[in-house]
Amino acid sequence: MDRVLGIVEGKEKGPLVICVCALHGNEQVSIRAFERVCDAINKHQIPFKGKFVGLLGNIEAVKLNQRFIDADLNRVWEEEYIEYLKVKPKAEYTHEDREMLELKAAIAEHDSDDYDIKVIADLHATSSENGNFIVVPPGIADHAIIKALHLPVVVDLDQYLIGTLLGYVVNHGFISFAFEGGLIGSDQALNLHISGLWEILEAAGCITHNDHMNEDHYANQLMEISSELPKQVKVLHRHWVEPTDGFKMKPGFVNFERINKGQLLASDDAGDIYSPYDGMIFMPLYQDTGNDGFFVVEEVTSIVETE
């Protein structure tokens, strides 16, 4: 398996759009989504400005179809930690230390100031239903590229998730965000990622609407799903989980489902866990690994008026 999934390069100058697929090894539909879009551009010779690159995230974890090997590859992108890796004995590197340094080098290979804008879309999927949303670093929730995706934007999740790829590359001049397409392995996640990639390429200025309207067969699906979801939300509460807690989410919760203060949400070895707020459930944990049991979020109104 190669780190580089594919490259489209136009003759004309323009934006750089890097699509990172399967940073979590079990979230693989993004790989097919990138390949479909890439193939369509080549096959139909769609006029293209700038460069579109697909990079594979955690290669070894993809082979094993698991989230990660030693450490979550989307929690290790801290400047201090990356500095420390320069002196850390190579023999003590975790698997993800090596994957991160390789991915970082692959991004750097394409990074240059020649581009109009630089974008990194980090494609993910969730272990719960309705996992369609965008995670942004501060200040870009109202960017045209984010708006073009129409999905709920979680404006402050970055404060809770330390060491994410998007948090790192935003400090290196990229417009960056995590794009959660839906349930792991589902057709819906594949379709939303395909449609989303077309929207990202258009909003970035690589292609025009006319160029892709016949290619994007899932635009209606994206609009339909997003019409039922909030536009922007912020975090009210996170339930942190240690592996030894015996945490178990009650079955059946979907993202953005309304919940009430005092509602039974989960249990662990210490007993039942109730919602401390009225709000919406977000990212309920339905897989074995992860420290975020669930979040409670509430809708916020956008700072910039939408048309």
Nearest approach in angstroms of CB 57 to Zn ion is: 9
What part of residues 200-259 is at the interface with Zn ion (CB under 5 A)? none
Tell me how crowded residue 205 is: count the other CB atoms within 10 A of its CB: 17
193 lies in the binding site for Zn ion (CB under 5 A): no
User: By rule CB under 5 A, what count of residues binds Zn ion?
Assistant: 3
Nearer to Zn ion, 41 or 184 (CB): 184
Of 235, 291, 296, residue with least CA distance to 268? 291
Nearest approach in angstroms of CB 151 to Zn ion is: 15
Nearest approach in angstroms of CB 108 to Zn ion is: 22
Nearer to Zn ion, 194 or 206 (CB): 194
Nearer to Zn ion, 124 or 239 (CB): 124
Nearest approach in angstroms of CB 279 to Zn ion is: 23
Distance CA 147, CA 145 (A): 5
The Cα-based distances of 151 to 13, 107, 118, 119, 240 in angstroms read 29, 26, 21, 18, 25
Distance CA 215, CA 251 (A): 37
Looking at residue 298, its amino acid is E
The Cα-based distances of 258 to 3, 240, 275, 279, 305 in angstroms read 40, 20, 11, 6, 25
Cα angle: 219, vertex 222, 227; to 5 degrees: 125
124 lies in the binding site for Zn ion (CB under 5 A): yes
Distance CA 260, CA 269 (A): 23
Q: Which stretch binds Zn ion (CB under 5 A): 46-54, 121-129, 204-212, 236-244?
A: 121-129
Nearest approach in angstroms of CB 124 to Zn ion is: 3
Q: Which stretch binds Zn ion (CB under 5 A): 24-32, 100-108, 228-236, 266-274?
A: 24-32
Nearest approach in angstroms of CB 27 to Zn ion is: 5
Q: Kindly tell me which residue out of 24, 49, 212, 239 binds Zn ion, with binding defined by CB under 5 A.
A: 24
Q: Which residues bind Zn ion (CB under 5 A)?
A: 24, 27, 124
